[in-house]
Amino acid sequence: MPFRWLNGGVTKEVFTPDSLPPLTAGRSRYGVLGFPIAHSLSPFLHQAGFQALGLEAEYLRIEVSAQDLGSAIPRLIQGGFQGWNCTLPHKNSMFSLVDQVDATASEAKSVNTVRLEGGKLHGFSTDALGWRAAIDETWKIDLGKSRILILGCGGVGQTLARYLAKSGCRSLVLVNRDAARAQTLAQELKPVVAGRFPLESMAWQSGDLDRALRETDLLIQATSLGLKTDDPLPIDPSRLPKGLKIYDTVYRKEFTPLVQAARKLGYQAEDGLGMLLHQGAFSFTIWTGQKAPVEIMRQALLSAAGRQS
């Protein structure tokens, strides 16, 4: 089956490691691995970046299940990939599959960007840097003076918690449906925090959650809820204190249900599209060695999502 190309040189196909198209001579190949992956807007921002800099390169969506990730890597290399991004559910698993990790990945214990160089897989984590850039761009808040609550201690939640434990905030609360996971993460972070600020963990259904929310300035929604149209709200915005800001790390073409519901109630709420843009820009530079044309990539991303700039 031939490619079906959209405007901007982005293919609408979703490939698997066994269904990759032939690679055009002289072209570099990158992509994003995930399950599911059809919703990903990453090809639009990266293809726009490649074209803006005159780079002969393509960026594909690759569907890989969790159990097939390890066996997929040799096929990706054979298929001509020079690097790739990882999204749900692969970031933590990829950390143990690469040959080397840089400081960002070592601190996050997660890999969302892989570069093939000298026959070795080099792992990086651009999620926290991308999130921080999005936060600074959107609200320009002082995280060091902010009381932060992270809802969800999976891949991205762990990455952001580890980042905040090192960089610092006024207080940090970790909330997870499985209380043991939140508690384990808090115990891991205690030596990093070293008493510089309060660190707390609790279950999603804890009676302390409302109290913790009242003492929160920034709520980070770090579960996958909102990715599917029939997902329930991760939290009812009507129970949140006024003045609290909400950052939902999930993105879709339309704003997530949480962001829509929160905005209707007057909250400042953003979804993960800005984080996607900036983490992608950092990945772009890792692969190409060139400064990412962020504004061009932003416009391509907003256009793909059907949003106004």
Contact 227, 221 (CB under 8 A): no
Contact 155, 133 (CB under 8 A): no
In this structure, what DSSP letter does residue 237 have? G
Contact 152, 234 (CB under 8 A): yes
User: H helices then E strands: how many in the chain?
Assistant: 11, 13
Query: What does DSSP say about strands 113-117 and 120-124: parallel, antiparallel, or unpaired?
Result: antiparallel
Clarify whether 91 is annotated catalytic: yes
Contacts 24+ apart (CB under 8 A), 145-148: 145/169, 145/170, 146/170, 146/217, 146/218, 147/171, 147/173, 147/215, 147/216, 147/217, 147/218, 148/172, 148/173, 148/216, 148/217, 148/218, 148/219, 148/220
Distance of CA 235 to the CA centre of its chain: 20
Query: One of 12, 91, 140, 264 is an active-site residue; which one?
Result: 91
Residue with tokens 């990453």: 42
Largest Cα–Cα distance of the chain, in whole Å? 60
Q: Provide the H-helix boundaries in 30-102.
A: 42-52, 69-78, 91-95
Tell me which residues are annotated as active site: 91
